[in-house]
C-alpha cells in the first residue's frame, strides 16, 4: 500500500465516519419505502449541481483501478450523466430536504471492458444513494441505512 493511499485513507475515513454519525443522528425521516418518490423541484440548485464529481472511494476505503476515472455531473434540469469507468450513463435525479439524493431511470451504453465489475459498483452506488454530504471539495454518498457508499471529489 502506498504512502499516498495510506494518507488518503487516514484523512477520509474519519470524515466519512463523522459524516455518517452526524447524518444518522440528525435524520428525522425514515428510510425510503418501496415506491416512495423523493421530493423534486423544477430546477435543481446547490453546490452539488453543475459540478463534475470524480470517484475517490467505494465505501470508506476501497480505491478501484480504472483506465479513466469515473465521474458524474448533475444538471439544473434534473438529469445526471457521467462515466462509470466502462460506460457512459444518464438518468434522472431529484435532490430534496435533508440532502436527499435519488437517482432514477439510470441507463448506460453496453460496452464490454475489463473493469465491468468495478463499473457496476459505481452505478450501484449512485442508484443506492439516499443522502449526500459535501465537505469542502468532497462529496460523500450514504445509503438509506446511513452507511457510507462512497466518496467523490470535485473534478476539473
pLDDT in tens, 85-103: 999 999 999 999 999 999 9
CA gap 70, 125 in Å, rounded: 12
Collapsing DSSP to helix, strand or coil, 116 comes out as: helix
Q: In sequence order, what are the beta bridge partners of 79?
A: 92
Cβ pair 154, 147 in contact under 8 A: no
Looking at domain 3-26+40-154, its CATH architecture is Beta Barrel (2.40)
What is the pLDDT, as a whole number, of residue 42?
Answer: 59
> Average model confidence (pLDDT) for the chain?
79
Least confident of 8-12, 41-45, 103-107: 8-12
Using the predicted structure, report yes or no on whether residue 31 has a pLDDT greater than 70: no
pLDDT in tens, 32-89: 444 444 444 458 888 899 999 999 999 888 888 888 999 999 999 999 999 999 999 9
Could you give phi then psi for residue 135, rounded to 5 degrees?
-130, 105
CA gap 2, 6 in Å, rounded: 6
DSSP state of 119: H
Record the cell numbers describing residue 69, joined without a space.
476515472
What is the pLDDT, as a whole number, of residue 58?
Answer: 92
Amino acid at each position: 500500500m502506498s504512502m499516498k493511499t495510506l494518507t488518503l485513507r487516514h484523512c477520509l475515513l474519519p470524515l466519512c465516519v463523522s459524516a455518517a454519525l452526524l447524518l444518522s443522528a440528525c435524520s428525522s425521516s425514515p428510510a425510503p419505502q418501496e415506491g416512495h418518490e423523493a421530493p423534486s423541484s423544477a430546477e435543481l440548485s446547490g453546490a452539488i449541481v453543475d459540478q463534475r464529481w470524480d470517484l475517490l472511494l467505494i465505501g470508506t476505503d476501497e480505491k478501484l483501478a480504472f483506465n479513466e476515472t469515473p465521474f458524474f455531473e448533475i444538471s439544473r434540469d434534473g438529469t445526471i450523466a457521467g462515466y462509470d469507468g466502462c460506460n457512459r450513463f444518464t438518468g434522472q435525479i431529484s435532490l430534496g430536504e435533508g440532502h436527499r439524493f435519488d437517482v432514477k431511470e439510470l441507463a448506460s451504453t453496453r460496452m464490454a471492458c475489463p473493469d465491468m465489475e468495478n463499473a457496476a459498483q459505481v452505478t450501484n452506488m449512485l442508484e443506492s444513494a439516499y443522502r449526500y454530504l459535501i465537505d469542502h471539495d468532497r462529496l460523500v454518498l450514504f445509503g438509506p441505512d446511513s452507511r457510507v457508499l462512497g466518496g467523490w471529489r470535485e473534478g476539473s
